[in-house]
Structure 1
Amino acid sequence: MNKQVWVSPRSNGWAVKSSGSSRASKIYDTKAEALKAGRQQAINNSAELVSQKRNGQINLKNSYGNDPMPPRDKD
């Protein structure tokens, strides 16, 4: 199972949650604050950061660990 850190909208703000945990680590007032905290958490855990829009669509994915699909070189 891949490690992921999710930034998701909630009725009272933006949640940062690690995959496998049942609760959000913290709720932030703005998406920018949540992304900053989520990015740091993903870096610390060598995980993938996944962010959602207010409507639930995924709009960002960044890998900070061992990327299973690294880009190919243009030789």
Structure 2
Amino acid sequence: MKNYHLTKKDNQWKLTAEGNERASKVFETKKEGVQQSAEYLKNNQGGSLKIHLENGKIQEERTYPKSSDPKESKG
């Protein structure tokens, strides 16, 4: 499963695959980034999405599709 990060850089939110320098997708807002990143992962064999705060810390992690989540926790 691929890992992706949604981070803010240069006033844009960028979806980047772990280990890559170039963003797969670029968004104007975080909300748009979260929504469209979910669709991107669902349509591209899934993966883990780490959503970052503006300061760079990880806010939360989501797995797409949900059935691929290795954790048994709700949420």
Compute the TM-score of the two structures, normalised by the length of structure 1.
0.77
Aligned residues: 71
Compute the TM-score of the two structures, normalised by the length of structure 2.
0.77
Q: Aligned match of 1:68 in 49, 67, 70?
A: 70
**Alignment correspondent of 2:33:** 34
Report the RMSD for the aligned CA atoms in angstroms.
1.9
Equivalent-residue separation in structure 2 for 1:48 and 1:24 (angstroms): 16
Runs (5+) with no aligned partner, structure 2: none
Give % identity.
27
Over 3 Å counting, the alpha-carbon distance change for 1:41 and 1:20 in structure 2 is farther
Question: Radius of gyration: which is bigger?
Answer: 1
1:49 has 2:49 as partner? yes
- Which has the higher mean CA deviation after the structures are superposed, 13-22 or 25-34? 13-22
Runs of 4+ residues over 6 Å off in structure 1:
none
- The code of the aligned residue for 2:52 comes to Q
